[in-house]
Amino acid sequence: MAFAPRARFDWKLRTRTLTLGPRTLVMAIINLTPDSFSGDGLVCMGDEMAGHEQAVATALAAVDGGADIVDLGAESTRPNATPLGAVEEQVRLLPVLEAVHAARPDAVMSVDTYHAATARAALAAGAEIVNDVSGLLWDGAMPAVLVESGAGLVLMHTRGRPGDWATQTRLAPTAVLPTVLDGLRERVKFAMAQGLAPGSMVLDPGFGFGKRGAENLLLLQGFADLASLGFPLLAGVSRKGFLAEAIAHLHPGAPPSSRLHATTAANVAAILAGAHIVRVHDVQAAREAAAIADGLLGRGSES
């Protein structure tokens, strides 16, 4: 069986370098929101202190369970989500980040934010990576923060904002992959013009971010073509709505937490098509899936 080759990269972060390619890295999702699309939000309305304690415990369990990166996010980007200000975002995020960093100083921490002020504060508190779902579109101050800090960047492709997605014009089947490729090329060009080093960037095609239903399956089908951009790739398919649509005839009305098997299948497909990193809710399942996929790629024994 022939699978897509996966190039090796050295991803430059704020204080260290991660080698990408020899094996799939697992990024654990820690949602510090009361309204996560996936139902895993850890900060509850009216009891943020208890939520923070639970979030710290969840993040530490992910690190101890083998996650290579822990990605903390304090603002929901589900369709029609209410935007969160940077100040409130930091109230949710920074105590958790600081506690996890203090307990596991060697853990690689990422912050899922498009707010430059939050990114700056999180990097000062120990984060190594900024995961910007807007692709540097929603806060003009973000590139300067990244350049000054030397942080790693996950640069995502998105179309519009969460409030637009439910009514957004669908892409023609033949337009899905070209739209993402062209969009990522433009975003990379912009980032480099702002002074970001190519070695600091990982690209994410943004499953579910301005892509509706089966458009995401077409994107996954063409994932291998993203390697032509010349950057390492991240796949974030975990519990996404398009998976629920694909299995609706088997499991109608199932909640997001029941999409584990569909997520695992999609993760394996992405890895065999060239993904260097998978961003997931379920760390152990992802590690096992990656071990099999990496073995098929002939990299199962590499570290």
Runs of H (alpha helix) within the chain: 48-64, 86-103, 116-124, 142-149, 176-193, 215-221, 241-246, 260-272, 283-296
Task: Please give the structure tokens belonging to residue 280.
Answer: 């997931």
> What is the residue type of 137?
L
Would you say how long the chain is, in residues?
303
CA gap 189, 193 in Å, rounded:
6
Q: How far apart are the first and last CA of the chain?
A: 23
Structural Rg of the chain based on CA atoms = 18
Catalytically annotated residues: 240, 279
Task: Please give the structure tokens belonging to residue 144.
Answer: 């300067």
CA gap 258, 261 in Å, rounded:
8
CA gap 177, 105 in Å, rounded:
39
